[in-house]
Amino acid sequence: MNNGVIESFNKFAEQYADITFLNILQYELNRFISLIPREGKVLDLGCGGGRDVQYFADFKLEAVGIDASIKLIDEAKKRVNGNFEVMDMRNLTFKDEEFNGVWAQDAISYVTKEDVINVLKHISRILKKEGVFFISVRKGSDEILILHEKLGKNEVMVGFYEINELEALLREAGFEIMNTYIQDGNDFTWINIFAKKI
């Protein structure tokens, strides 16, 4: 994640949290939760306004939310009584095998393609064996500047992926693909993958 992206999220944190807070991926969240042991520990990578941490907590999971934007973490703490930390996903400081699951809904999109394999290896490191990883990214190719509707139409660099490209990266990082599917959104087509650490 480059500084320009973090600055944009800091500048529009309240607006971004307001827009996204009620936009729940209920099917994906419920499936993810069904794969986690009862009262397991999960990490919400790029937690934004804390929406999904709240959802996990409602299901009695121990949830931790991290985001590189200090302002978004402030917004999450205002909205949700949860465990939140300012942390860059390129440098996860959690212990090895600390989590039963990692949830990354649109978080990896903001990491440069150069950095993404190292981020995925960090995620694998902090997951327990057979821990579950959900990842959602925009379908396409390359890294391009987009006018981000939820960030005041600021230009933000975003990574787009093809299915085979993302699956290959996950396998290289030590994951087995459980399920891959495409989902049409308002502005983009999304690739959603459930994987587990092997």
Q: What is the pLDDT of residues 53-71, one digit of tens each?
A: 999 999 999 999 999 999 9
89 in Cβ contact with 119 (< 8 Å)? yes
Asked if residue 22 has pLDDT above 80, the reply is: no
Of the pLDDT bands very low, low, confident and very high (cuts 50, 70, 90), residue 52 is very high
- Measured between alpha carbons, how far apart are the two ends of the chain, in Å? 27
Higher pLDDT, 63 or 25: 63
- Separation between Cα atoms, residue 93 and residue 174, nearest integer Å: 19
Q: What is the pLDDT of residues 109-160, one digit of tens each?
A: 989 999 999 999 999 999 999 999 999 999 999 887 765 555 556 677 789 9
Q: What is the pLDDT of residues 76-95, one digit of tens each?
A: 999 999 999 999 999 999 99
Q: What number is the average pLDDT over the span 168-195?
A: 94
Token reading at 165: 């490209």
> What fold is seen in the domain 3-197?
Rossmann fold (3.40.50)
pTM: 0.89
Domain boundaries, given as residue ranges, for the chain:
3-197
70 in Cβ contact with 47 (< 8 Å)? no
Query: For the purposes of burial, counting CB atoms within 10 Å of the CB of 1, is it exposed (0-12), middle (13-18) or buried (19 or more)?
Result: buried
Higher pLDDT, 92 or 22: 92
